[in-house]
Each structure stands twice: as C-alpha cells, then as structure tokens.
Structure 1
Amino acid sequence: MIKRFLPSLLAGALAAALAGCATVGADFQAPGAPSAPAFRHAADAGANADGARLPAAWWTVFGDATLDSLEQRALHDNPGVKAAAQRLLQAQAQLGVARAGQLPAVSVSTGVSNTRTSAETAQGRALGGRSIEGDNFSVGASLSYELDLWGRVRRAVEAADAQALAAQDDRDGVILLLSGQVASSYWQLRGLDAELAILRDALGTRQEAQDLVEARFKAGLSNELDVSRARIERANAEADLHEVQRQRNLVEHALATLVGASPSAPLLPAAAPAARLPQPPMVPVGLPASLVGRRPDLAASVAQLRAANAQVGVAEGAFYPSVSLTGNFGFASEDLRDLASGGARQFSAGPLALSLPLFDAGRNRANLALARARYEEARASHETRLLGALREVEDALSDVEQRQKQGEVQAQSQQAAARALLVAQARYERGVSTYLDVTDAQRSALAADRAAAQIRTQRLLASVAVARALGGGWEQGPALAAVR
C-alpha cells in the first residue's frame, strides 16, 4: 500500500529540497552612517574616539553614591521599565509563533462514537431495509506542513525577529530615558539645595544687618529709610528662600515617582550647608558613525526598517503558489480490544496540494503597494530620527562648552560682587555712604552667588544630556540585571 503513496512522498521530498533555493523580496541593507567625521562641538578625544564608551551604568562616572542608589531603585521599581520588559516578552512570544510556521504541525486525536444509519434511506433499502449500528473507537495522528518554496514564511520570521529586536531596543531606550531623568532630577535637587544654603546665609546676614541698622536708628546714627531698606532686603531673601524650597519640593516629588516611590514620603534630605556641587565629569565622545549602534532609539529604528523590508517579501510571496502536504496515521475499530490489531490500521499521505492565486480583484497588488509604502515611510522616519539624534548630541556638547566658559566668567563676577559688598559695608559704617549702596551690593552679591550655583547645576545637567544623547551605557550589563 505504501507504494501507492510513493509518488506523493517523492514529490514532497523534492519540493522540500527545493525550499530555500529562492526567497521573495530583497535582502535588507542597513542604512549608512552619517558622513560627518566628528561632532562640531566635541573636544578632541584623541585617536581612539570611535572606541570611547561609557560603562553600562553610565551614571557612575559622577562618583555619587546617592545617585547610584537612586538609579538602581528606578531600574528595579519603575513601572515604565516593567511595562517595557513585558512588551519585549510579547514580541519574543510573537517571534515564537512565526517560527512555528517553519515546522510541520502534528496533532494526536482519539474518539469514541456510537452510530446508527437509517433503514429508510437509499443505502438502507439497498441492504434490504436494514440499518447499521455499532460503536467506533479511533486513535491517530495527523501532520500538515506548508513547503516554503519561495521564502514567504522565512520573510515572516525575519520580520518577527526584527520586531523582537526593536522591542528590546525600545526597552533599552526606556532604561536610558529613565536613568537620564533620574540623574537630571537628582542634580536639579542638589542645585536647589546649594541655592537654599546660599539664601539661608543671605537671610542670616540680612537679619544681622537689619538689627544693626535698627540699633543705629535708635541711637540716632541712621534714618528710618535705611531701616525700611534693611527690612525689605531681609523679607525678599526670606521670600526667595520659600520659592526655592517650593521648587525643591516639586523636583523631589518627580524624583520619587521616577524611582517608583510615593511622593508623600520624604525621599532625600537636604544636603549639608557645606556641601558643594561637584565638577562635571569628562564624558567620552565617539564619532557619529558609532551613534547608530549606541542609541537604542536608532537601533530600534533600524530594526523596524528591517521588519518593513521583510514584510515586502511576505507581500510578494502572495503572488506565488503555495504548496502544502498533509497526512495521517492511526487505528480504528468497532471493538476496543481490536483497536491495536494490524487490521485496524489506517493511514493516508497527501494530498500534496498546490494553490495558485488567479484572480483576487487586486488585493495582493494593493497589499504589496502598502508594504512598500510602509518601508519607505520607515526609511524616512529613520533618517528623521538620525538627524534628530545628531542635533541632540550637538546641542548637549555645545551646552557643555558654553556652560564651562560661562562658569569661568561668572566666577569673576562672584568675586567682584563679594568685594563690592565689603567696600559698601565699610563705607556705610564710616558714614561715607548711605545704606542704599549696601543694599545694592547685597543684591549683586546674592545674584552672583545664585547664578554661580545655577551654572554649576547646568554644567552637570549638560553632562547628563551628553551621556543620554550618545546612548549612554544602554548596553545590557550587570547594572541592568534587575529588569531582565
């Protein structure tokens, strides 16, 4: 009996051997890197600039243990990271579904039935007006397999694989964005702590000055206008203190949300008055060619482009014949005891079915046009993201450069303002000038001190922006093990 099915089996084997000889659609070619040799605002990083890399836990370059702890909490507890991890698992499961189409599907079935035919049908009358009844027991297995002659299934698997890579890159992008937000919020918080320390010192100085002026007024050595000016300056300093405290509360609430904690509970105590903001670290800078491989959003964009290219092949495969092979083997018997006997054996091989689309009212052609348009859209979107990434890097590097120069000049202003305040106070105490000169000098000194603290904060934020724009340390590493 097997000989009768030999031609079908040989045809199936031949078709399987031909599978893989042709693949619909064009093979994917990754888009080229930018042609610019180096970033415009980057400092000279030496001959090995292209190999410069930040560590996976890029925030450790700041050398702040509190920041390191906050980053780890965020990676472990932030709901956005957990959601991104689940999206990655979904994409990987979808890839498994697509890969299953490359292998035969085998199923096993069993059945028990009791039947009785009608004696009044043509069949029953042909049997002399008798009906047929009895039990039927069966057990068997069936196989079905689509022969991927043209590579349509392989293109579908390629598209699903690219989607899984894109989901992984999106997860890494969420991690990069989150770590950048945590670092930015943390340095904003410490910058506001520095301003609070300056304002507290200023408030204490203003209170002492007010007491001194009031004492001089009582002694007849000053006038009421000087007293009013002293009170105004003290009240302004106190009002500024409350405003900065309000800003700090908002930043602390945002930081608590980022690390997955309730904003109702205090997250970080204020820094010690003597604490100073650190100098920003030197962030290594690579060439634009390395940007495509570093930034997770660009890597995800390339993966999406690859998936769109594979979908064009899937759409082209609809124009070609599809070949499928089915078969089954099992046992069937009226008596359960005879189910395993040789006479109860039954099987079939085939048919080896071929399906060729002849007329579909233009559906396949429209699907192919749709897939090609989506690919072109993905290519244009990738170019847009690439230009945006280059702009972000240049913006961040420009900020680092200009903030450093601004800080150097502001230090000169801060020294001059402090000297002017000492001179104004000395002149007032000797009766050479009015208290108006002192208040003007106090305002200038306070503004210079606060501006210096703000510039130091902005320099730290610019360093964070550079790390984030360059892709930071988004590559998988020990620091990110908590989100796997």
Structure 2
Amino acid sequence: MSKYSRFSVSLSLRSFCGPAVAGLALLAVVGCTVGPDYERPEMELPQQWSGTAPVEPVDAAALEQWWTAFEDPVLTELIARADEDSLDLQAALARIEQSRAQRAYAAGEQWPAVDATSGYSRNRLGAGLFGSSDTAGAAIGDFDLYTTGLDAAWEIDLFGRLRRSVEAAEATLEQSIEDYHDVRLSLCAEVARNYIELRTAQARLRYAAANVDIQRKMLELTQNRYAAEIAPELDVAQAQLILANTESEIPSLRIAETAAINRLAVLVGTTPHTLRAQLLEPGTLPEIQTPPRAGLPAELLRRRPDIRSAERALAAQTARIGLAEAQRYPSFSLRGTLDIQATEFSDVGRWSNRAFSFGPGLRWNLFDGNRLRSLVAVEEARTKQLVAAYEATVLRAVEEVENALVGLVQEQQRAAALRRSVQAARDSLEKVETLYLSGLTNFQNVLDVQRSLSQQEDRLAVSEGLILQQVIALYKALGGGWDVQNNQQESFQ
C-alpha cells in the first residue's frame, strides 16, 4: 500500500459509449479554464525625465541602429560582425529553438495519442480458469499468443489544464525572443563601449607621447645649460624625474589598449589576435553631433526588451497557477484499444480475430495530504516574486536613463572646462619656457606647468571618451539596438 491513499473511479461501459462520448465532447467545448487570467501590471511612471528640457519624441529609426550616429566605419563593421558571429547571440537563438519545441510539445498534448502495439507470449492457463480446462478438468496445454493493434488515449481538457500549459509555453517562447533582443542590445553596447575604450587609450597614448617629446627637449636643454654652467645640476635631475614619470604611464596605457582589442575580438566571435593588425592602427575618438532624444518614460515599457521579457515571464507564471489548480479537478479521458489476437502467426491478419475496448474514463484525486493545494500556493508565491521583479526591472530602467542623462550633461561640462584648462596650460608652458631661458624664473615653474599640461591632456582624453560612453549608456537605457515593430516569432524561424 502506498504512503498516500488514493482513490480513483473508472468508467468503461460499452452500452453508454455513444452518449458518454457525446457528453464529454460537449463538456470539452463548454468547459471552463481554472486559475487567474493574466492582466498586464500597471505602473505609474513620471511624465518626463527630471532636470531635462521639454520632452521630444524618440526617433525610432535612429534608435534601431544608433551606432551609425558615430559615423565610424570601423565601429559599424565590428557591430555587424558581432551580430553575425557572436556566440552569445547563437546561444540566445538556441534558447528560442528550445522554447519553440516546448510550446509544440504542450500543444501536442491537446491531441489524441495513438500507439502501435505488438507482442508475443507463451502461455498456460490453470485448470478451471475461465473455462480453460478440457472435459476431464485438466489444464489446456501450452499455447502461443500473437497480438498486434493500436492503443489510443485523449484527455478532455475540461478544466483548462492543457490550455494553461500551452499559454505558459507560448509566453515562455515570447520571453526567449525578448531575451534574444536584450542580449543583442547589450552586445551592441558592449562592442561600442570597448571600441571607445580602445580609442580613448590611443588618444591618451598620443598625448603621453607628445609630452615625452616636450620633456626630452627640456631635458636636453637643461643638460646643455648645465654643461655651460648656466643652470644647476638640480634642474637636470628634475627634468629626468618628470620625463621618467611620463614614460612610466605608457605601458599601462598599452595594456588597456590591448585588453580592449582582445575583448572586441571575443565579442565578435573570434580569437583575440585576429583584430590586432586592424585596431592597433591608431584612430581617433568618433564624434556625435546630436545626442539621442529620451522621449517619455512610459515608452520604456514598449522599447526595453528586459522589461518585455520580465512581463512575459510573469504571464507564463500566471498561467502555471491555472495549470496547478486544474490538477485539483477531475480529469476526463477517452481510451480505446484495437487488437488482433491469434494463436498461430499465420492468423494474425484475420479481421475475425479482432478484440477491442473503448470508453470514457474519469480520475479525481480525493486525498493527497494537501499536496495539490500547496502546489497552487507555490505557484502563486512565484507569481508574486515575478511581479516584484517586473516592477524592479522598470524602476532600474528609469534609473539607468536618468543616470545617463545627468552623466552626459555633466561630462560635457567637465570636458569644456578641461579644454580651457589644456589651452591655458599650453600657453603657460610657452611663456614659462621663454622666461626660464631669459633667466627670469626658476626651473621649478617649468616643471609645474609641464606636469599640469600632461595631467590635463590625459584628463581631457578620458573625459571625451566618457562623453561617448554616456551616449552609449543612454542609447542602451532607452532600449536602442533592435526593431520593435518587427518582433514576430516568424522572424526567428
């Protein structure tokens, strides 16, 4: 006896097969679907972004391929290669295939299952069993039994268990498609971000090399003045110090340059050394004339694939509540078998040897130690978790846009100030060198200006790169990088 007592009722009355089948078919048509029907959660979002100018509508076409706004053919080529060969995208496509197969499996459960059967057995019946003895009461001798036929079963989806299963599988498939778009969106942003890091490192290398040249010339000048007994040996030592300090920064910049190249190679689905020849050739930071329009916060619900994915996950989980609830209700089915049985193999094909059974069946759990009710509670708790996860995803999306908008404005202001600072440092260096050669100032002032110029030029290169990073972050936060209008499942066949 099993741990949990179970009772079931089976009905298989041949005389009532016709009316029973008709009745079950009618019930299948008018049957209910238990469990909650899904409703998209509503969230109140601000009418506009904080601290920004009046709202302008989003340019959907510009968002779809936002990287073209940088007008950099190398960047465009890298993103095209990543879109074609990225291993992350290939994995996301495989997950779509998996979800489609799971949906097809769930849909297939709504149809009858028909199995072909065939068998052979060697038999002996005991004396007196079902008239199996001869007139003397002795058991009939051994005999062969050949069987072949069909078994069929069809569950009548009276309470919507199968419909909820298909509903959940359909929402899961749609979620996997949104996840693919999210992977693609993140991939494009990651390629662009690493490309900007590469160009930023190369800009910093150019500034460092220029300052090394300036400082070498100043070292040579101080050495000549020391040889002519015009300047003290301290000036030579200080010139050597600042030169060595600037030279020490170059290896770390080379490391950053190489790391960005290697990362780009992996993102486009190739080995790290593949892009070295192309990307080690120095390039400049791209420029963007017009930053993206942020539009309305509510548009994020439509554009962001991570939000759409969270919403579809919630829809699938809501359907699973009904799936669990339906298990608490009676399960109706139609079952039938058709066999041809013979004691001689040569008689297997004879229609007169047919045997069949057909009829409706009912199964209803009467006691299970509260397991099925607890299963419904489990699914309801999971749904609450996904409601919270959906709302958190929306709030994070709003946060990311707000941060990118503020970061872009503030970094632009910082870069403008750094440009003024760099120009002032260059003017100061020219003047202080003249004063030093005229003996009107000491060498410490020259060193201070050289050091300031080197630092400010490096900061300017970093700031100009960060402006582009903020633009990329804003495009990503707005859900740019995919076509919202062309999101049908047929696109992924």
Q: Which of 365, 369, 372 matches 2:377?
A: 369
C-alpha deviation, 1:79, in angstroms: 3.0
Match of 1:73 in 2: 81
Q: Which is further off, 16-25 or 419-428?
A: 16-25
- In the TM superposition, what is the alpha-carbon distance from 1:192 to its structure 2 partner? 0.6
Aligned-pair CA distance for 1:29: 0.7
Residues 108, 121 of structure 1: CA spacing in aligned structure 2 closer, same or farther, 3 A cutoff?
closer
Answer whether contact 1:417 1:444 (CA < 8 A) is retained.
yes
**Residue in structure 1 matched with residue 402 of structure 2 by the alignment:** 394
Paired AA for residue 59 in structure 1? W
Would the aligned equivalents of 2:38 and 2:318 in 1 still touch at CA under 8 Å? yes
Partner of 2:181: 172
User: What is residue 25 of structure 1 aligned with on the other side?
Assistant: 35
State the SS of the aligned residue for 1:189.
Answer: helix
Alpha-carbon contact 2:115-2:152 (below 8 Å) kept: yes
TM-score calculated relative to the size of structure 2: 0.88
Q: 2:55 touches 2:296 (CA, 8 Å); kept in 1?
A: no
Superposition deviation, residue 121 in structure 1:
7.1
Worse-superposed segment, 60-69 or 332-341: 332-341
Q: Which residue of 1 aligns with 2:49?
A: 39
Q: Check 1:191–1:50 CA distance in 2 against 1; reply closer, same or farther (3 A cut).
A: closer
Amino acid at match of 1:453: A
Question: What is the CA RMSD across the aligned residues, in angstroms?
Answer: 2.7
Question: What CA deviation, in whole Å up to 9, does each residue of 1:98-133 have, x standing for no partner?
Answer: 112111111122334443445697955554224244
Distance in 2 (alpha carbons) for counterparts of 1:438 and 1:51: 51
Cα distance, 1:358–1:189 mapped onto 2, change above 3 Å: same
Q: Secondary structure at the match of 2:272?
A: coil
Q: Identify the residue that residue 181 of structure 1 maps to in structure 2.
A: 190
Residue 463 of structure 1: CA displacement? 0.9
Contact 1:331 1:346 in 2 (8 A): yes
Cα separation, 2, equivalents of 1:308 and 1:365: 17
Q: Deviations over 1:60-102 (max 9, x none)?
A: 3322221122223333443333333322222222222211211
Q: In 2, distance between residues paired with 1:215 and 1:291?
A: 66
C-alpha distance in structure 2 between counterparts of 1:265 and 1:276, whole Å: 22
CA distance in 1, matches of 2:350, 2:129: 32
Aligned residue identity for 2:222? V
Distance 1:368 1:483, change over 3 A: closer
Do 1:19 and 1:148's aligned partners in 2 also have CA atoms closer than 8 Å?
A: yes
Moved more, 80-89 or 143-152: 80-89
- TM-score, L = length of structure 1: 0.90
> What amino acid is aligned across from residue 261 of structure 1 in structure 2?
T
Indicate yes or no: 2:422 matched with 1:427. no
Measured after TM superposition, the shift of residue 43 of structure 1 is: 4.5
Question: Within 5 Å, which residues of 2 pair with 1:50-449?
Answer: 52-117=60-125, 125=133, 127-128=135-136, 129-263=138-272, 267=276, 268-272=278-282, 275-279=284-288, 281-350=290-359, 352-449=360-457
Aligned residue for 2:25? 16
Question: 2:294 aligns to what SS in structure 1?
Answer: coil
State the AA in 2 paired with 1:452: L
- SS of equivalent to 1:308: helix
Q: Is the 8 A contact 1:145 1:326 kept in 2?
A: yes
Name which of structure 1's ranges 341-350 and 361-370 shifts more when overlaid on structure 2: 341-350
Name the aligned partner's letter for residue 180 of structure 1: A
Aligned 8 A contact 1:16 1:149 in 2: no
- SS of match in other structure, 1:222: coil
- Compared CA separation, residues 17 and 60, structure 1 to 2 (3 A): farther
How big is each residue's C-alpha offset from its partner over 1:299-328, in whole Å with a ceiling of 9 and x where there is no partner? 111111111111111122122111011012
* Alpha-carbon shift at residue 205 of structure 1 (Å): 1.3
Shift of 1:59: 2.4
Contact 2:161 2:322 in 1 (8 A): yes
Give the deviation of 1:56 after TM superposition: 3.7
Q: Tell me the distance in 1 between the aligned counterparts of 2:492 and 2:196.
A: 24
> Once the two structures are superposed, what CA deviation does each residue of 1:288-309 show, in whole Å capped at 9, x if it has no partner?
2221222221111111111111
Partner SS for 1:353: strand
Deviations 1:6-61 (A, max 9, x none): 73233223322332531111211111244311222554453xx1563545443233
Equivalent residue letter for 1:177: S
The CA distance in 2 between the partners of 1:127 and 1:432, in whole Å, is 141
Q: Secondary structure at the match of 1:19?
A: helix
Counterpart CA distance in 1 for 2:337 and 2:482 is 51
**Structure 2 counterpart of 1:454:** 462
CA–CA distance in 1 between the matches of 2:118 and 2:98?
A: 33
Query: Is 2:43–2:391's contact at 8 Å kept on the other side of the alignment?
Result: no
